Structure 1
Amino acid sequence: MEKQLCDLLVRLILLTWGFGAGVAGLDRYSSLGETVTLPCARFQKYQNSFIYWIFNQRSESSALASDGKITVKQPERAARLEVLPDSSLRIHHLHTEDAGQYECQQYVNGQLYEGGTPFVLTLLTITADPGKDLKRGTTLALQCTLLCNGGIADCSSAPDNVKLTWVDDEGTALQGDRFKITPYRTHSTLSLELQKSDHDRRWRCNLTEEGAVKASYSYTTTLTDTPVLIATASATTIALLIVLILVVAFCFWKRRRSDSDNHIQVEELTKESVSEIPAQVTGGAGENYSSIQFNNEGRGPERRQAPAEESNGVIYSAIK
């Protein structure tokens, strides 16, 4: 009886003072769009027991899961929640509405047996002004913000050792006269004038606690005037490539045609028949003659036509 009364008093204190802010080990950080897993630390296996997940936000409580089953009524949010075999709660694709306090409770035979350690989930996000139609020369203001308990104004109880920093892709802090950074404890603003090199550039904000990065969120600037130049360059490259392909194809066709003409000439030459006719003996007893007859009838039309008397001929040779 005394244990249950103590658990009730602890929960009332947590709700009154902002869900345990400032208590060591309760804070958990992540970013919009990420996935986070919240453990049910004191879970033990008993017969007739189940785990009950509770979500507190802005002094309102709601049940998320009971006995391993998601009980949220909103279909879109229910699809992002998952209870793991060890009764941990996993939240996919974090939204603004997910910032708040989470607590798992274990019931045995219908009675509260153990209350888990509550987690205060704080999310990191970036907003841009202006948020669209960015061009070279535009003055852009990026604000990196903590989302606590479902809103920005509810982060007044955020730990003092939390710090927001702007870094490049290598994790180095942004420096130089070009960047104007205005830091606060719960948000930080980066102002700059956009240049051509800022097209498709990522601006990253890190949340650190005692120097260790706990969460990170990035924003990519897409300039509306730079892609036109890129498209023009791409069109020129494609046109040159097409011309090159046509030149190579023409040269290949020309070579094939030349090879084909040579092949035809060789075939026409092979049509010329060479035949041997019986020898007519016109010499003395010791001489034999053999004749070779040439037929030029198969030659191509491009050859010079020989006189009729030269079309067919007989050459005699003496064989001794």
Structure 2
Amino acid sequence: MVFISLLGLFLLSLTQAAAGSQLFDQSEVFALLGDDVTLPCRVPSIRSCSSVNWNMVEEFQSITEVVKAGAVTAPGGKALRLDLLKDCSLAITHLELHDARLYSCDIGTLNSSVSLQILEVTESSNPGVDTIELHCFLNTYRGYAPCNNKGIRIKWRSGDSKPINGDRFKVVNPSECFSKLIITKKLTDHHRKWKCQVTQDDTVKATTSYTTTIKGGIEEVFAAVGESVSLSCWATSSLGGKGGGKWAVGERTLTHDMSPHNGPFHVSEDSSLVISKVSALHAGDYTCSDSTDQQRGVNKVRLHTLDVTSEREPEGDNVTLACVLTCTKECGKDITLTWSGDSRNSWQSRSMKVNNLLTNSLFLPVLSMASDEYTCFVHRDSDVMASKKWHTANPLQTPAWVVLPLVLLICITGFYLYNKRKHPKDAEHEQSSVVMTPLYEVIQDVNNEDLQHQRQHKRGTTTTTDDFYDLLQAVN
């Protein structure tokens, strides 16, 4: 398609050169099917869009006029998806594959061109034995035709946008604009997501994804203990009634009034099975079928659970964190466990697999636990499927340390008031400089009043006996 676009651009240049026009700018716009895009008209000093024309290079190099003198003239239903904006750019909504063309904007003798390139992923209908073959390409660029776009690359990514690694995967790049991902098939590749990115000069321009479907496959789901998980039911008809999925775990049928291992769950409107609080005992193979149509088949979901436990040595010098993945059956070779956190120089870890349990133990000296959080991750191939956090118990953040200052404050206050009541005469010699609460300010004011009365009493001893007697009589 790029070759065709360049040829179309060459033809446009010849036509415009004959008319005395000048090519001002060339650019690319990358998009996905169904997107809305805006193609800029980069001709400078545009005074009015009423003089703007837009042309499109069709297949077999024919040129179609889509905008003339500021008005949309595209034929057929495409005109409904085109709009000339106030800055004279061309807007296209709900992109279709045949929209991937070379467009030209011209005003008088000046023009600019835009190559609209749509990124698409398809699955080969004739893969090799036990393989899945995905094709990612720009426009109709499916084969080995040369790609002349400089700086453009197509890259494959996993579901969480990380590079795909592993012996099961092989990437073939016939050209910069076309790439193949060949996957050695597994039943657990059912409903897995793969991403394809197009980059230009190492900048991501567009990303699209594709979900593989394996006949008789099993969808793998990973969930952390204590969290909620939803298992999708793909076997039910979209026209079925509310919650039409019939779920079972192993040989046991699940109903709304019971659940596996007495764990809480419910079936949602789309027939998904929701487990509100996952435990390690919920690991297992779940099946869902359409309760109204037994001919639709059964979809299978394999649930693995992830948990983190801690154990402190009797001497109290080390803490052992155990990250445990409980698999339905044996944990596959493509599944691994890793840790993240601080103080990595103090870590010692050990992985172990026993039956359906995969464990990664982390041995931490208590004094080196600088971080208050450690996280265990479960990986499948290149994807992070689930994680579980563990928090250190900082004694300064425990409830006992929060209450202790308040207890000390109450004890000190009680002791202070007790001494005040026991030794009232000493109050006149005390000058407290600490004001703790409004209550203590009131107590201090009362003490000051008592002290003033006592001082007045001392001064009154210098008066005559008659005066003191007269004062007593007045009080009585």
Which TM class, normalised by the smaller chain length?
0.5 to 0.7
Match of 2:98 in 1: 97
Match of 1:202 in 2: 193
- Given candidates 98, 110, 116, the residue that maps to 1:115 is 110
- Given candidates 206, 213, 216, the residue that maps to 2:207 is 216
Match of 2:35 in 1: 34
Conserved in 2, the CA contact under 8 Å of 1:28 and 1:120? yes
Conserved in 2, the CA contact under 8 Å of 1:37 and 1:89? yes
Match of 1:178 in 2: 168
- Given candidates 124, 133, 142, the residue that maps to 2:134 is 142
Return closer, same or farther for 1:14/1:122 CA change in 2, 3 Å cut-off.
farther
Conserved in 1, the CA contact under 8 Å of 2:28 and 2:116? yes
1:163 aligned partner, one-letter code: R
Conserved in 2, the CA contact under 8 Å of 1:32 and 1:93? yes
2:117 aligned partner, one-letter code: T
- Given candidates 224, 235, 249, the residue that maps to 2:247 is 235
Match of 1:225 in 2: 216
Alpha-carbon deviation of 1:201?
A: 1.8
Indicate the SS of the match to 1:54: strand
CA distance in 2, matches of 1:219, 1:60: 33
Alpha-carbon deviation of 1:93?
A: 2.5
Alpha-carbon deviation of 1:188?
A: 0.9
Return closer, same or farther for 1:47/1:138 CA change in 2, 3 Å cut-off.
closer
- Cα deviation, 1:273-299, whole Å, max 9, x if unaligned, reads xxxxxxxxxxxxxxxxxxxxxxxxxxx
Could you tell me which runs of 5 or more consecutive residues in structure 2 were left unpaired when the two chains were aligned: 1-9, 18-23, 220-230, 236-244, 260-476
Equivalent runs, 1:9-158 vs 2, <5 Å: 11-12=13-14, 25-42=26-43, 44=45, 46=47, 49-57=50-58, 58-75=60-77, 77-106=78-107, 113-130=108-125, 138-147=130-139, 152=142, 156-158=146-148
Alpha-carbon deviation of 1:83?
A: 1.7
Conserved in 2, the CA contact under 8 Å of 1:37 and 1:88? yes
- Ranked by relative contact order (alpha carbons within 8 Å, sequence separation 6 or more), the top structure is 1
Indicate the SS of the match to 1:26: strand
Alpha-carbon deviation of 1:172?
A: 1.5
Alpha-carbon deviation of 1:14?
A: 8.5
Which stretch of structure 1 is more off in the superposition, 97-106 or 64-73?
A: 64-73
- Cα deviation, 1:51-92, whole Å, max 9, x if unaligned, reads 1111113421001123443212121x2232222122211122
TM-score where L is the length of structure 1 = 0.57
Conserved in 1, the CA contact under 8 Å of 2:159 and 2:192? no
CA distance in 2, matches of 1:52, 1:180: 46
Return closer, same or farther for 1:91/1:9 CA change in 2, 3 Å cut-off.
closer
Indicate the SS of the match to 1:223: coil
Match of 1:159 in 2: 149
Conserved in 2, the CA contact under 8 Å of 1:26 and 1:119? yes
2:256 aligned partner, one-letter code: L
2:248 aligned partner, one-letter code: T
Match of 1:192 in 2: 183
Computing the radius of gyration over CA atoms, which structure comes out larger, 1 or 2?
1
Return closer, same or farther for 1:192/1:227 CA change in 2, 3 Å cut-off.
closer
Give the superposed CA RMSD: 3.7
Indicate the SS of the match to 1:79: helix
Instruction: Give me the identity figure in percent.
Output: 26
Return closer, same or farther for 1:85/1:99 CA change in 2, 3 Å cut-off.
same
Conserved in 1, the CA contact under 8 Å of 2:72 and 2:83? yes
Match of 2:349 in 1: none
